[in-house]
Amino acid sequence: MGFDDTIVRWVWGGLPRVFQLQKCLFCERTGQVVASDDNQCCHGGLSEGSYAAIAQSGNMAAIATPVNGELADLNRKLGTTLVGCGGGRASRVVASKQLAAEAAPAAVTADRLSFNARSGVAVQGEGELLDGLSSGKVKLESLQKDNLPAELQKLDSAELKAEIGKKQKERAAVQEQIQKLSKQREEYIAAERNRQAEQGKGDSFDEKVAASIRAQAARKGIEYGK
């Protein structure tokens, strides 16, 4: 693949814009050569960035896994445990996030579930009661009734506590399944990426970004998974 058939992207480097002149890329601000056809004069180290030559198509491949469908089902079950907290607007925001997740492609939903499971939440951001209780940001006994959904406002303290406890148990069971399947999914994706790399297909844009982030993070003592 020739240099003219590639796109050069800077990852995490924050370098000034670069432009191509014949077979070299020049930094707009300094006039320095930052990359050449033979890749021998890369100066990504100027700001701890990195250089990568990537096909114009990006070579990005979505990896479907055998557990994507099961995770999508679990996402819907997780949605039944959500409780908006903070009034009508908070409930609508939480509900809209769940609706968007259910409408998303299975792979996107699976990524979201995996990330949220590692974060210990069902929904990112504020406004979900069970997440708030789990983090300690919300105390059930001091919560105003008008901050609860209408169906919970009519319950007395004992009934409310029992209902919330039921939902917490349901969520814990769903999240346990999500964590188990997410681990299987990550292992499957890692194995598939290794297989693609062995076949010479490991040069996609997302793989280059991930490799650059892992390398730069390692220099700072931070380790990311494959």
The DSSP string of 129-173 is HHHHHHHTS--GGG--GGGS-HHHHTS-HHHHHHHHHHHHHHHHH
Identity of the amino acid at 91:
S
Q: What is the pTM of this model?
A: 0.65
pLDDT in tens, 162-211: 999 999 999 999 999 999 999 999 999 989 888 877 776 655 666 667 77
Q: For residue 25, give the nearest of 51, 49, 58, 48 by alpha carbon.
A: 51
The residue whose two tokens read 């050449």 is 36
Question: In this predicted structure, which of 2-6, 90-94, 195-199 has the lowest mean pLDDT?
Answer: 2-6
Residue boundaries of the structural domains of the chain: 3-61+201-219, 68-189
